[in-house]
């Protein structure tokens, strides 16, 4: 049985893993967070006021075992949250990356979703994404957006089955992506 709940600070490690899985490219992770990228992402997830903070995440459990996480934020808050994220990067890595904006005001951005390998194929991702969208819409937001790699048609198919539609192509971390949105 899949249960989705709000994350707590104790969930920082699974949130970090979800972000790393969502980025997917180890060279990009190292460029962004250094060689110990999981520890750095864990610290970012543990702190308040960052893009990947536990405050903005949901966690899925399968039969009481943590299976995955999803994290996102209001696009209008991107710059403020990015500064919180960059503060941790300056402290732990000594540098900040140059990243294009992947969202904007008017969109609640689903930044990262990741499911641990042993729980894939059980509907955990579908449950997380749908729960995330329902939470966002209940809070009064009208649009959820995300980007998905051209090279990941399976993920795009999942998002399409949950009501997301293509808006436009974009480039992020040197990868061609589709910008998808779901309206309330």
Name the phi and psi angles at 91, rounded to 5.
Answer: -65, -45
**The pTM is what?**
0.94
CB-based contacts of 162, cutoff 8 Å, min separation 6? 126, 129, 130, 133, 182
Whether the CB-CB separation of 42 and 11 falls below 8 Å is answered with no
Q: Pick out the chain residues at pLDDT < 50.
A: none
Instruction: Show the tokens assigned to 69.
Output: 């996480």
- Over residues 68-119, the pLDDT tens digits come to 999 999 999 999 999 999 999 999 999 998 888 999 999 999 999 999 999 9
Give pLDDT, residue 174: 78
Structural domain span for residue 103: 2-183
CATH number of the domain enclosing 85: 3.40.630.30
Beta strands in the chain (DSSP E): 2-6, 57-62, 65-74, 108-115, 143-149, 165-172, 175-183
CB-based contacts of 157, cutoff 8 Å, min separation 6? none
- What is the number of domains present in the chain? 1
Q: Which residue has the tokens 């969930």?
A: 11
């Amino acid at each position: 049985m899949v249960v989705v709940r709000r994350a707590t600070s104790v969930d920082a490690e699974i949130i970090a893993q979800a972000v790393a899985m969502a980025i997917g490219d180890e060279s990009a992770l190292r460029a962004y967070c250094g060689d110990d990228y999981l520890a750095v992402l864990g610290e970012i997830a543990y702190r308040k006021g960052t893009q990947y903070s536990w405050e903005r995440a949901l966690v899925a459990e399968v039969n009481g075992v943590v299976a995955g996480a999803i994290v996102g934020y209001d696009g209008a808050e991107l710059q403020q949250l990015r500064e919180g994220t960059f503060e941790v990067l300056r402290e732990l890595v000594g540098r900040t990356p140059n990243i294009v904006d992947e969202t904007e005001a008017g969109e609640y951005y689903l930044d990262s979703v990741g499911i641990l390998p042993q729980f894939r194929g059980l509907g955990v991702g579908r449950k997380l994404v749908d729960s995330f969208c329902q939470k966002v819409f209940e809070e009064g937001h009208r649009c959820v957006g995300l980007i998905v790699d051209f090279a990941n048609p399976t993920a795009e198919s999942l998002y399409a089955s949950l009501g997301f539609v293509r808006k436009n192509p974009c480039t992020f971390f040197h990868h061609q992506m589709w910008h998808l949105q779901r309206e309330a």
